[in-house]
Amino acid sequence: MHIDHQKNEIVFKIVYYGPGLSGKTTNLEYVHSQLDPGLCGDLISLKTSEGRTLFFDFLHLELGRIQGKKPRFHLYTTAGQARYAASRQVVLQGTDSLVFVVDSQRGRLADNFASLKELQNRLTQNGVAITQLPWLIQYNKRDLPMAEDVAVLERKLNIWEVPYIEAIAVTGRGVFLTLRKAIELIIKK
Amino acid sequence: MSGQPNGNSVILSEKSYQEINTYLGDLLQKSRASLCVFADMNGYPVSYKTTRTALNVDTLTALAVNDFSATAEIAKILGETQRFRYLYHEGIKQNLYLCNIGNHYLLIVIFGPHVNLGMIRMLSQHVAGKLDALLNRIRDEKDKVAKYMDVEFRTLLGQELDKAFGLKN
């Protein structure tokens, strides 16, 4: 987090992490499409020629002044594909809160698990223990027929018992609740 | 090394800001650059001075910092023990110069083709040295976070978020 005493602003960094095609960019696209343009900037996406995230997506949100102070939020997604591991390390630096986006489909369980393990390792490399970081899990794609039961996903993935939210990011279900929770976890801390 | 490790907050006092602003103002004036940003490696613009209007400094900083951090990974692959000291991008109308400050901060300078790169490099390194010294001096002003985000602020922030996100009436 960054506090600017001169402008009386406080800035938080929130990162969406997860395996490729789990819906991280879709979360940000939905937030960007729904919010008053006065509250958010352009959605910056660094994409490959196939439209997959190459480095990160970035969205800047701000609220009006509270007690004279202006809260602002920098939202990032990481590139999900395995070959962009180094770029994920870079984006994770200095994150205040994290959303791990799970693809709920049964066939993606191993990918989710591998991504979670990688997250843990990358945080460690950045000097942060996963238990110290405010974070939550978003079980996305709950509408798909092959979606695994949340109870099963919880048992297999959420060994830290962090909060979770069910979502269908393409329709917006759970998207703002997730973001709200990610911010709440920072301010609680 | 100045600053704090990854994942920690950057909290500076008003006096420190004034000092940073003085350095940035001097750099802007002497170099004839159009923008000077002092940013942290987490992607936040700590402070900036500019002659340009309607510039999204937040986005520009986020992109520049990640650009610089990506090259730090390249440096590692090449066997460098430190990050690259500076990066330069040359355009037709604008050029971008990025200067590492103690591995945790970055100086971003944008300037036109009429300005000599050598001049930018010399002045930037001079200012980077001063900023590094300042960061080493102040170190930790972290205790101010709790005071800044008191209970009332946290409650009101929650209410504002619910309103903005359409979660409650």
Residue pairs spanning A and B at CB distance below 8 A: 131
A58 part of contact set with chain B, CB < 8 Å: yes
The full set of domain ranges for chain B reads 14-142
pLDDT digits (tens, 9 = 90+) for A107-121: 999 999 999 999 999
First to last CA, chain A: 12
Q: Which of A151, A145, A148, A154 is nearest to A104 (CA)?
A: A148
A17 part of contact set with chain B, CB < 8 Å: no
Distance in Å, alpha carbon of B116 to nearest chain A alpha carbon: 31
CB contact under 8 A, A187 and B157: yes
pLDDT digits (tens, 9 = 90+) for B101-121: 988 899 999 999 999 999 999
Whether the per-residue pLDDT at B2 is higher than 60: the answer is no
pLDDT digits (tens, 9 = 90+) for B40-55: 888 889 899 999 988 8
DSSP helix/strand/coil, B164:
helix
pLDDT digits (tens, 9 = 90+) for B141-166: 555 666 777 888 889 999 999 999 98
ipTM over 0.85 threshold: no
User: CB–CB of A100/A18 below 8 Å?
Assistant: yes
User: CB–CB of A12/A70 below 8 Å?
Assistant: no
Choose from A6, A35, A135 for mutation: most chain B CBs within 10 A.
A6
Give residue B54's pLDDT: 80
Whole-number percent of chain A with pLDDT over 70:
100
Summary mean pLDDT of chain A = 92
Neighbours of A50 (CB within 10 A): 6
First to last CA, chain B: 49
Give residue A15's pLDDT: 97
Residues in A 140-159 with any Cβ partner in B closer than 8 A: none
Instruction: Give chain A's domains with CATH numbers.
Output: 2-188 (3.40.50.300)
Pick from A41, A72, A183: which is nearest to B161 by CB? A183
pLDDT digits (tens, 9 = 90+) for A89-102: 889 988 999 999 99
Whole-number percent of chain A with pLDDT over 90:
71
pLDDT confidence tier of residue B6, bands split at 50, 70 and 90: very low
Return contacts of B150-156, CB within 8 angstroms, 24+ apart. B152/A67, B153/A66, B153/A67, B153/A69, B154/A187, B154/A188, B156/A66, B156/A67
pLDDT digits (tens, 9 = 90+) for A138-168: 999 999 999 999 999 999 999 999 999 999 9
Whether the per-residue pLDDT at B4 is higher than 50: the answer is no
Whole-number percent of chain B with pLDDT over 70:
87
Summary mean pLDDT of chain B = 86
Q: For residue A40, what is the nearest residue in chain B, using CA coordinates?
A: B164
Give residue B7's pLDDT: 41
CB contact under 8 A, B165 and A94: no
Give residue B10's pLDDT: 56
CB contact under 8 A, A180 and B11: no
Third-level CATH fold of B14-142: Beta-Lactamase (3.30.450)
Give residue A150's pLDDT: 98
CB contact under 8 A, A93 and B152: no
